[in-house]
Amino acid sequence: MKYVRLGQTGLQVSRLCLGCMSYGEPERGNHPWTLPEAASRPFLKKALDFGINFFDTANVYSDGSSEEIVGRALADYTRREDVVIATKVNSRMRPGPNGAGLSRKAIMGEIDASLKRLGTDYVDLYQIHRWDYGTPIEETMEALHDVVKAGKARYVGASSMFAWQFARALAVADAHGWTRFVSMQNYVNLLYREEEREMLPLCRDRNIAVIPWSPMARGRLTRDWDTTSARVETDDFGRSLYAKTADADRAVVEAVAKVAAGLGVPRAQVALAWVLQTPGITAPIIGATKLEQLDDAIAALALTLSAEDIAALETPYVPHAVVGFS
């Protein structure tokens, strides 16, 4: 495993981060395709065996059961000081006022709830799960600063939003001497490259770590275009990411298949290798519901795409509408 610094911090993370949205009790929340605890634990164990030390979850994943599963497994399989645990806050956790968002009340309540579910005294990276249009960014940044100063989080990060919003948040933190964001978890893959326009250059300029979600486009880049799965059939959010660009996206998927065939490797390795070779990317967040998917992810670390390969993969792309910010 390769390890890199998380942006401008001294924290070292594995070049791959295991995304844990797939691990949660199926009857909790709105992800019926998730793996229950007994089925999830082998993935967390295998990731650790491969040297992955970076794990990402969120309070909202499977109504908190993802945090519970991840926390118990990591406690059983490794030492707390040897792993980097990231979670998120913003999404609705209960009905009614103050049941979601990035107000001071919400942040202070949800960090304690997440720590309890994870079974730890602190998280290494506490991330805002999108932008909250209903709360002043000053309130959010001060609350996150206080979470860090209370020892409940080591660093704070952000997720998909407009570059101007992220720049504003960084400026607000700097102006007040508050803890600033060290990472951006945004949507980057061969089917969605809009982040190349502003967010990725901003992160490179400010030395912000980029830990993209869905680097293989929810599996669409790893299989024939018309192939379906249980997740595809039930993932309403996933469908919203691709519905308007089907013809262009099909051409990209076919390009991945052609390059993979030429290299004699699975498509998943090619799709992930492209993200890993994108300038400024720190650690893609990989998902796995089959153990061999972790094998492919590890193999992608050693796969170097040529300039010709990259051109073949990128040429079919057409501009997309901005998605993934809500």
Cα separation, 57 vs 67, in Å, equals 6
Q: Catalytic residue, from 3, 23, 61, 187: name it.
A: 61
Residue type, 311: A
Which residues touch 172 (CB under 8 Å, ≥6 apart)?
137, 138, 141, 178
* DSSP secondary structure letters along 261-316: HHHTS-HHHHHHHHHHHSTTB---EE--SSHHHHHHHHHHTT----HHHHHHHHTT
Q: What's residue 247's pLDDT?
A: 79
d(CA 90, CA 127): 9
What is the predicted pLDDT for the residue at 227?
82
Residue-level pLDDT at 100: 95
Q: Is 3 in the active site?
A: no
Q: Where would I find the beta strands (DSSP E) of 69-191?
A: 84-89, 123-128, 153-159, 181-185
CATH class of 3-314: alpha beta
Interatomic CA distance for residues 187 and 49, integer angstroms:
27
Using alpha carbons, select from 77, 14, 9, 12 the residue that is nearest to residue 43. Answer: 77
DSSP output for 126-161: EEE-S--TTS-HHHHHHHHHHHHHTTSEEEEEEES-
**Exposure b/e, 91-117, CB count within 10 A at least 16 = b:** eebeeeeeebbbbeebbebbbeebbeb
* pLDDT reported for residue 233: 56
pLDDT at 53: 98
- Within 24-138, strands assigned E span 54-56, 84-89, 123-128
Q: What are phi and psi of 179, to 5 degrees?
A: -60, 130
pTM: 0.94
Tell me what pLDDT residue 8 has.
Answer: 97
**Tens place of pLDDT per residue across the chain (326 aa):** 999 999 999 999 999 999 999 999 999 988 899 999 999 999 999 999 999 999 999 999 999 999 999 999 999 999 999 999 999 999 999 999 999 999 999 999 999 999 999 999 999 999 999 999 999 999 999 999 999 999 999 999 999 999 999 999 999 999 999 999 999 999 999 999 999 999 999 999 999 999 999 999 999 999 998 887 665 555 565 555 665 567 789 999 999 999 999 999 999 999 999 999 999 999 999 999 999 999 999 999 999 999 999 999 999 999 999 999 98
